[in-house]
A and B are shown apart, each in its own frame.
Chain A
Amino acid sequence: MESLPINFHQVALGRYQAKINTVSAEEMVLNLGPQHPSTHGVLRLELITDGEIVKEVIPHIGYLHRCFEKHGEALNYAQIIPYTDRMDYLASMNNNHAFVMGVERMLGIENDIPKRVEYIRVLVCELNRIASHLIAIGTYGIDIGAFTPFLWCFRDREHIMNMLEWASGARMLYNYIWVGGLFYDVPVGFEERCAEFVQYFKPKMQELNELLTDNQIFISRTANIGVLPLDVAINYGCSGPMLRGSGLKYDLRRVDEYSVYPELDFEIPYAKGEIGTVGDCWNRYKVRIDEIAESLKIIDQSVEKLTKEHKRTKEFDPRALVPKKTVPKAQDFYIRAENPKGEIGFYFIADGRSDKPFRVKSRGPSFCNLSVLPEISKGVMIADLVAIIGSLDIVLGEVDR
């Protein structure tokens, strides 16, 4: 094995600086972000452009870095859950769910969780998935120049936010799903309100489709732009709507069959290329639209189960199984689950003595999805680059963690 270069910090840094400093006379280095609205947060892209053509994209991330993993080593498992909220802050429930499932499996109590708890978890996760996709779609519209869908999406998302606030007490950062159970049972009338919401929301999706999905201007801006071939997507570790947008029917809810998803009836939408090419921006967008419809189906079924089979009873205590002290056996464990953005993973190392993890690493789907950006945006126009970034649907809270 080679020995370590003495100036190992400088080698790659020097290569990067040389690239920036030696651009030719026709080329220009352009900074996009970190305070640019189309970068969806504090993402900074350094573009080497030739006129209007982007020759190379160099992403710089870390502006929102809090080092979740270092915090995790100092806190016990229950206390880490609020930190997972703040990773993908648009889909906190899904993060909670993945983290909690991992800890439960390490403790070996995953089969003891009452069905009602599992159904409530799935219900709130799917509500949150819709909310997250609505943001993705609305902000994507505004990136492209369509203002109305943005307002419509936020209007409908606000209903979901209100419902989840009603259940958990917080608008975005819920800390609702706990190890072994839930913070509280859902409030009385929650199930009915979910059913009402589904009824209200279905026609709204129809309107949104008419306004945006089949809009010729929108199609011209997104179809055949930023094509991500399937092999590249897999090699770059893309997951979620990115991978399905490239034409692969792959969803961890079906592959891993965690929680009560095997009992629910829903399809996995994937890109078929009705418009444009499989793997382009429009197809990624369409996968999200279709996923909302599937999530609505899941909500309907969960509500049905929660009002009939697993009804609210006086004796039911969602905290019955919450451990007083969470001390898993010495082991390491990797849990993965389907977040609205893709595969969220947590890797735990437990030493078997303390209630704090020795090491907890999170695999953010946005982090991996973003890493493909330089690959698919070589030679595109700057305006198309904005369309591509929007179609990745990244959340910088999760990229930087």
Chain B
Amino acid sequence: MIFDRVKEILIEKFGEQVIVAEERDQKQPALVILPDLIAEACLLLRDHPDTWFDFLSCLTGIDYGVEQNKFGVVYHLSSIIKNHQIVLKVNLENDRALTNLPIFKSVSEVWKTAEWHEREAFDMVGIYFENHPDLRRILLPDDWQGFPLRKDYQNAEEYHNIKIEF
């Protein structure tokens, strides 16, 4: 099974500490990776002849809620040649302050498609990606305040003196 092979490959290269946790009982099993190593791990999995994860299907930034104070990024990788998939996750604790965003490593060097996905995660959830070439807001205006997909987001009442009605 590809899940065990991925785990083996990662442990072989980075040691036991790379796997923080594993969610095996799900329909789509996921590996929780140490946030510092995510970019190297992705590069390894992309180029390893047993895995060939050449296609990043989806990258999601997640706010796990006010009680947990945890932010995460989920990577859905798939291999076109080998036809298998894996889910990688990284999580970080954070105090939710708007000046103290959670920082993850960018994987845009590994898959270029991550560039826009990460911009979206930055824009919507407020996750900062280190080494990203162009981390601007993508969907919202550049001067927007706050991150709408955070669970504690207060809906903006006006934008440039224009009242926002719902």
Contacts and interface: CB of A to CB of B under 8 A. Distances in A.
B134 A1 contact: no
Contact of B113 (A61, A236, A332): A236
Interface residues of A, number: 48
Nearest to B92: A1
A361 interface: yes
Interface size class of B (residues with CB under 8 A): 35 or more
Interface string A102-118: 00011000000000000
Contact of A333 (B27, B62, B105): B27
Most buried by A among B87, B115, B139, B149: B139
Contacts of B140: 62, 65
A368 B60 contact: no
Contacts of B76: 334, 345, 347
B66 interface: no
Interface string A214-235: 0000000000000000001011
Contact of B148 (A9, A67, A343, A371): A67
Nearest to B145: A9
Contacts of B138: 61-62
Nearest to A14: B136
Contacts of B111: 235-237
Interface stretch (B2-10, B11-19, B50-58): B50-58
Contacts of B134: 12, 15-16
Given A333-B27, A345-B76, A4 B135 contact: no
A42 to B, nearest CB: 12
Interface in B110-151: 111-113, 115-116, 124, 128, 130, 132, 134-142, 148-149
A11 B135 contact: yes
Given A234-B80, A248-B80, A334-B58, A4 B136 contact: no
B116 A347 contact: no
Given A16-B136, A70-B149, A345-B76, A334 B57 contact: yes
A368 B141 CA distance: 20
Interface of B: 26-28, 30, 35-36, 54-58, 60, 62, 65, 74, 76, 80, 83, 87, 99-101, 103, 105, 111-113, 115-116, 124, 128, 130, 132, 134-142, 148-149
Interface of A: 1-4, 6, 8-9, 11-13, 15-16, 61-62, 65, 67, 69-70, 105-106, 232, 234-237, 248, 250, 255, 331-334, 336, 343, 345, 347, 349, 358-359, 361, 363, 367-368, 371-372, 375, 400-401
